[in-house]
Structure 1
Amino acid sequence: MVQRLHFASALCPDGWHNDVRITVGEGRITAIDTGAPPSPDDEHHAIGLPGLGNLHSHAFQRGMAGLAERRGTSDDSFWTWREVMYRFLERMGPDELRAIAALAYVEMLETGFTRVGEFHYLHHDPAGTAYADPAEMSAAIAAAADESGIAMTLLPVFYAHGGFGGQAPNEGQRRFLNDLDSFARLRDHAARALGALPDAVLGLAPHSLRAATPEDLRGLEAMAGQNPIHIHIAEQVREVDDCLAWSGARPVEWLLANAPVDARWCLVHATHMMEQETRALAATGAVAGLCPITEANLGDGLFPAEDFARANGRWGVGSDSNVMIDASEELRLYEYGQRLTRRGRNLLAQGPGGSTGAALFGAAFDGGAVSLGGATGLRVGQAADLISLESNHPCLIGRNGDALLDGWIFAAGRAGVDCVWRRGAKVVSGGRHHARDTIVNRYRAVLPGLIA
């Protein structure tokens, strides 16, 4: 079946064009014609964009959004939030995981994310015992992706230790744990679980330098081959201090000196870096995986965005804890964090007169595509993963070109997204996913049993 989508204006790889007809066959773009008058056979839309990649998600945490917003008896931090997360997992099985992940993926699609990097570490049953199929929880994630329609880059997480230097894990981590041999088996089974998903990518993720020893990292790097490798790093000041005590080096400094970090790698957060680390990371071609909503929610700190941009560093955004899922909000908050600390405006725009929205969207699109291993964009041969914006939204009326991105990211937000296509299938219309009611109802059925 061939379909033709006509956009009054669309963002192509070489910039904005008017009257763009995109022809789709078998889920892929087969032709792009610019300056093409609309025809009666076309499906007509106003503003077209390529879909974004969400490079870092823990889908199950969507179910605990808002549950960690009560002050404890001592100072709250990432570490106290983590204890709430451990308790939330106590009753979760494959059915509950699928229900929660499906809702998260619906919300991602509704805001303009068309591929997700699922940093998946919930592997075992509540007692910490492997399922008969070691990738049963990965299969639940794959089923949620299939139901929602989102493209999947699955990143099974290797987690073996509770602290730097191979410290013993704690009881709350029992559901995450593997050694290299059992992790290889899990990953093999995960590959089979992904088999029915179009365009699926299988990478891997050492959870952090706390959870994987240097020997583990070497084994994982060999296991990954040319596929994506993601890792949490330098998210918290305490993590930096503990790494210094263990190794005499800061986390990013240590990783760059001891692992072959290149464009396969995504360093998630990388919040606490010195200037030399920032320049060195940029030079590797690796992607910095930034999650501004979650980083703000957890009180992590701010990534050195301007320094990284000056060093031509590559970055993308992810929804991480999924406390709020909104592609435009991730981009907006990334810029706003810099404005608050630098006391300036339009800090990440590319030079005088540059559009901040265009700079943010372009960088996040590139970083997401590279880090998730799924080539994308409005190009012939690529999967037809597209977004249309609502031209009648008050914040988009009268705008053209990059001003549309400024209006969407800084003003309209998720309400500015009209339709979303994944492999040419329209999964979102009028800002609403076609399966939202069914998926929300199942979520409502499972959540009370997890938070009672």
Structure 2
Amino acid sequence: MQVTYWLEHAWLDTHVEPGVVLETDQGRITAVRKEVPAPPPGATALRGLTIPGLANAHSHAFHRALRSAAQVGSGTFWTWRDVMYGVAARLTPDTYHALARAVYAEMAMAGITVVGEFHYVHHTPGGAAYDDPNAMGEALIAAADDAGIRITLLDTAYLASGMIDKYRSAEPEKHQLRFSDGSAQSWAERVSLLKDRDHARIGAAVHSVRAVPADQLGTVAAWAGSRRAPLHVHLSEQTAENESCLAAHGCTPTRLLADHGVLGPRTTGVHNTHLTDEDIRLLGSSGTGTCMCPTTERDLADGIGPAARLQHAGSPLSLGSDSHAVIDILEEARALELNERLRSRTRGHWTAAALLRAATDDGHNALGWPEGGVIETGALADLTTIALDTVRTAGPVPRLGAETAVFAGSAADVRHTVVGGRHVVRDGVHALVQDVPHALAESIAALRP
């Protein structure tokens, strides 16, 4: 289907260009024309600042059910995790589909056009019988399609509850049993049944070094490598993980991953918070990416990762909303810079353009969609339009649109979302899921105790 869009202002990687026409066909941009002051006949006008579709490189869709409830009282990451297990225990393919459909619609309304779903709630609860061993993953893929966004299903190996020593890992605890396939080989056999489709790609993940025994890390890496698929891993989110790894293996989690062939340019470490100088060198020199999730990292009191040092060392940065304390990639981008300002007491570590690249182009690359994240001929026709006339964004001149979007805008300012040339969110209204707040409330109520 051929669709023409007129962009009042377009961010073209390094600058804002007024009056840009995009011609699209079969979900791709077929032409980019500049200096068009008014919408041509038949074109759909996108007023505001249009950027490439935002990439949410790290999501656990079911964590959305914990929003607000997780804010009662104090605690740590580990006490929060116990609450999370309770929600995971109640997920079925049907309830997960309903929740994820609403969560992905919320993402679309926030300008997100592709999500990396770090998926480890694999098997149905209580041994319920389903014909498809990937029923839970298929529910997520269907939910993304229903919401009108793309998905990379990062099917996650999760085999143990912790490290005992170099040769032994602790068996999964009761609430982790449904996450496990028993072995990395069994995980690989199950994941191989999943297939790419137009809106979905299959990737892999190592949940963490505490959840995948060292002698099985290579199996997961080999599966991803043979398919040239993205491979993600939670890395050094907590100091306790580092301490356990040092006690069991005599090295950091980063070194353990490097020694077992996990690092590389198709791999992304999520969080990368508590790293040594050698860890940073290993990640940067191997081209391993870093996905920062600032709103979750501050929500769970994890700490501030060395993002600036990682990028300087050669690790590309992407962004994720992770636990969905909020779903707002503009806030993640802003927090990346503001966190670094708090740490260093200096400003200007990233330009607005650099932060937008992390939120778009580099995020797409991390998720295995290299043809997305840019506005140019041949790219995916995935677009996000941010209003420049709201109470948050009104005032600055349009040429400062990138600075306005990143440092003042929010998900609430997203006016249009286009995926594959299709207008999924128009004037702030989701075209496919008509009542997103009701869908969220209903699906979350069904999961809470």
TM-score tier by shorter-chain length is: over 0.9
* Displacement of 1:8: 2.7
Q: Is the CA contact 1:154–1:202 (under 8 Å) kept in the aligned structure 2?
A: yes
Change (3 A) 1:284 1:430: same
- CA deviations 1:307-339 (Å, max 9, x no partner) are 223324311001111121111111111222112
Change (3 A) 1:36 1:335: same
CA distance in 2 between partners of 1:160 and 1:185 (Å): 14
Q: Is the CA contact 2:145–2:199 (under 8 Å) kept in the aligned structure 1?
A: no
The one-letter amino acid paired with 2:41 is P
Q: TM-score, normalised by structure 1?
A: 0.92
Q: Does the residue aligned with 1:295 lie in a helix, a strand or coil? A: helix
CA distance in 1 between partners of 2:318 and 2:129 (Å): 33
Q: Does the residue aligned with 1:223 lie in a helix, a strand or coil? A: helix
CA distance in 1 between partners of 2:191 and 2:129 (Å): 13
- CA deviations 1:142-179 (Å, max 9, x no partner) are 11101101101111111111112422111110110012
Q: Is the CA contact 1:266–1:371 (under 8 Å) kept in the aligned structure 2?
A: yes
Q: Is the CA contact 2:217–2:257 (under 8 Å) kept in the aligned structure 1?
A: no
CA distance in 1 between partners of 2:55 and 2:14 (Å): 19
* Displacement of 1:440: 4.0
Pairwise mapping of residues 78-93 of structure 1 onto structure 2 (< 5 A)?
Answer: 78-93=77-92
The one-letter amino acid paired with 1:386 is L
* Displacement of 1:284: 1.5
Query: Equivalent residue for 2:259?
Result: 257
- CA deviations 1:400-450 (Å, max 9, x no partner) are 566212212221212321101000111112223223434543443343232
Query: Equivalent residue for 1:360?
Result: 355
1:431 and 2:428 matched: yes
- CA deviations 1:365-404 (Å, max 9, x no partner) are 2321211001212122222000112132244345456621
Match of 2:386 among 389, 408, 420: 389
Tell me the percent identity: 34
Query: Equivalent residue for 2:323?
Result: 321
CA distance in 1 between partners of 2:87 and 2:145 (Å): 25
1:168 and 2:171 matched: yes
CA distance in 1 between partners of 2:188 and 2:317 (Å): 29
Match of 1:305 among 285, 307, 325: 307
Gaps of 5+ in 2: none
Q: Is the CA contact 2:13–2:357 (under 8 Å) kept in the aligned structure 1?
A: no
CA distance in 1 between partners of 2:73 and 2:389 (Å): 42
CA distance in 2 between partners of 1:89 and 1:214 (Å): 26
Q: Is the CA contact 1:357–1:405 (under 8 Å) kept in the aligned structure 2?
A: yes
* Displacement of 1:22: 0.3
Q: Is the CA contact 1:123–1:130 (under 8 Å) kept in the aligned structure 2?
A: no
Change (3 A) 1:409 1:316: same
Change (3 A) 1:401 1:311: farther
- CA deviations 1:180-199 (Å, max 9, x no partner) are 343233213332xx54xx24
Higher mean displacement: 246-255 or 7-16: 7-16
CA distance in 2 between partners of 1:129 and 1:238 (Å): 35
1:119 and 2:118 matched: yes
Q: Does the residue aligned with 2:16 lie in a helix, a strand or coil? A: strand
Query: Equivalent residue for 1:444?
Result: 441
Match of 1:188 among 176, 185, 192: 192
The one-letter amino acid paired with 1:187 is V
Query: Equivalent residue for 1:212?
Result: 212
CA distance in 1 between partners of 2:219 and 2:229 (Å): 14
* Displacement of 1:13: 4.1
Match of 1:330 among 329, 332, 356: 332
Query: Equivalent residue for 1:44?
Result: 45
CA distance in 1 between partners of 2:316 and 2:120 (Å): 25
Query: Equivalent residue for 1:352?
Result: none
Q: Does the residue aligned with 2:51 lie in a helix, a strand or coil? A: strand
Change (3 A) 1:70 1:391: closer
Q: Does the residue aligned with 1:92 lie in a helix, a strand or coil? A: coil
CA distance in 2 between partners of 1:315 and 1:357 (Å): 14
Pairwise mapping of residues 19-418 of structure 1 onto structure 2 (< 5 A)?
Answer: 19-38=19-38, 39-46=40-47, 47-71=49-73, 76-127=75-126, 131-164=130-163, 165-178=168-181, 179-191=183-195, 194-195=196-197, 198-224=198-224, 225=226, 226-346=228-348, 348-349=349-350, 356-374=351-369, 375-376=371-372, 377-400=374-397, 403-418=400-415
Change (3 A) 1:129 1:95: closer
Q: Is the CA contact 2:317–2:362 (under 8 Å) kept in the aligned structure 1?
A: yes
The one-letter amino acid paired with 1:91 is R
CA distance in 2 between partners of 1:66 and 1:446 (Å): 15
CA distance in 2 between partners of 1:68 and 1:279 (Å): 35
* Displacement of 1:104: 1.3
Change (3 A) 1:189 1:258: closer
The one-letter amino acid paired with 1:379 is E
Query: Equivalent residue for 1:18?
Result: 18
Change (3 A) 1:12 1:123: same
Tell me the C-alpha RMSD between the 2 structures. 1.9
Gaps of 5+ in 1: 350-355
CA distance in 2 between partners of 1:321 and 1:264 (Å): 23
Higher mean displacement: 306-315 or 224-233: 306-315
